Amino acid sequence: MDAKIYKLKEIDKTKNPFKVPDNYFAQFNEEIMNHLPEKEITVPDPVSLWDRAKPWVYLAAMFVGLYITINFLMKTPAGDNPGEDRVAFRQILSGSSGKADNYWSTAQVTEEEFYQYLEEQLIDDSYFDYMYHRYYLN
């Protein structure tokens, strides 16, 4: 251990033991560039008018297809009056009687029947057991 410390003490601390060759960094970039291969300059291919317009044409075609699809889905059947649905909708909103009342009159369910139906659904789907086990057994 003393021998290693003695050798470290022999080193002259005023001189830097690491040396760089003279003018090394002055010519560093030139040396690196001389070792690199020559880069080939390629001319880019010209972009045609169709390649430029293609995204816009596709976008327009998409909107035309969307317009046709919406019109097809919103179209009323051939025998119906096109304004009839709007009139019925306005009557529903205004609360007036008319064709809308006739539609809803076919679905007559008493309150007891409704509650009986809900209870049967709960029993059939075993919600009572699920709720009991979830809240009382945990």
What confidence tens digit (pLDDT) does each residue in 58-73 have? 999 999 999 999 988 8
Q: What is the pLDDT of residue 25?
A: 83
The residue with tokens 């306005």 is 90
85 closest CA partner among 94, 72, 97, 76? 76
In angstroms, rounded to a whole number, what is the distance separating the alpha carbons of residues 131 and 138? Answer: 11
In angstroms, rounded to a whole number, what is the distance separating the alpha carbons of residues 114 and 53? Answer: 61
In angstroms, rounded to a whole number, what is the distance separating the alpha carbons of residues 4 and 13? Answer: 16
Q: What is the DSSP letter of 76?
A: P
At 15, the pLDDT band (50, 70, 90 cuts) reads: confident
Q: What is the pTM of this model?
A: 0.31
In angstroms, rounded to a whole number, what is the distance separating the alpha carbons of residues 100 and 91? Answer: 7
- pLDDT value at 4 more than 90: no
* Farthest CA pair distance, the chain: 114
- Non-local (6+) Cβ contacts of 92 within 8 A are 100
For residue 100, the tally of other CB atoms under 10 A from its CB is 18
